[in-house]
């Protein structure tokens, strides 16, 4: 979690002062920031096996129509929160530093 927060902050995420680094609130805030600022959606999903994985959708600016590109992952995680955290780590690798 600390590595995720540090990487997000290095990319421009501002941790809200009233959060005090509560883990799940920070995950939600990073998820919102990635979605609103960088047009990347991270969606944890529940698999038929009872495990969780995540899907990432990135807005394709290069396409004249504008579409959401799906970037799926088949790695399974035991909890929703872990799938979200790992999905956010992956999403941060898609952000280009300007």
Q: Read off the pLDDT of each residue in 29-34 and give the average, rounded to a whole number.
A: 92
Fold of the 2-93 domain: Double Stranded RNA Binding Domain (3.30.160)
Residue 37: how many other CB atoms lie within 10 Å: 12
Residue 96: pLDDT band (50, 70, 90) is confident
Residue 5's Cα: distance from chain center in Å? 11
How much is the pLDDT for 68?
80
Give the SS3 label for residue 77.
strand
pLDDT in tens, 40-90: 999 999 988 899 999 999 887 665 667 788 887 778 899 898 999 999 999
């Amino acid at each position: 979690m600390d590595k995720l927060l540090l990487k997000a902050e290095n990319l421009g995420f501002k941790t809200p002062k009233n959060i005090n680094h509560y883990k799940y609130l920070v995950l939600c805030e990073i998820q919102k920031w990635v979605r609103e600022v960088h047009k990347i959606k991270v969606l944890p999903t529940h698999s038929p096996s009872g495990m969780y994985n995540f899907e990432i959708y990135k807005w394709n600016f290069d396409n004249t129509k504008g579409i959401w590109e799906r970037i799926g992952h088949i790695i399974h995680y035991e909890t929703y929160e872990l799938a979200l955290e790992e999905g956010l780590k992956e999403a941060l690798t898609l952000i280009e530093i300007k």
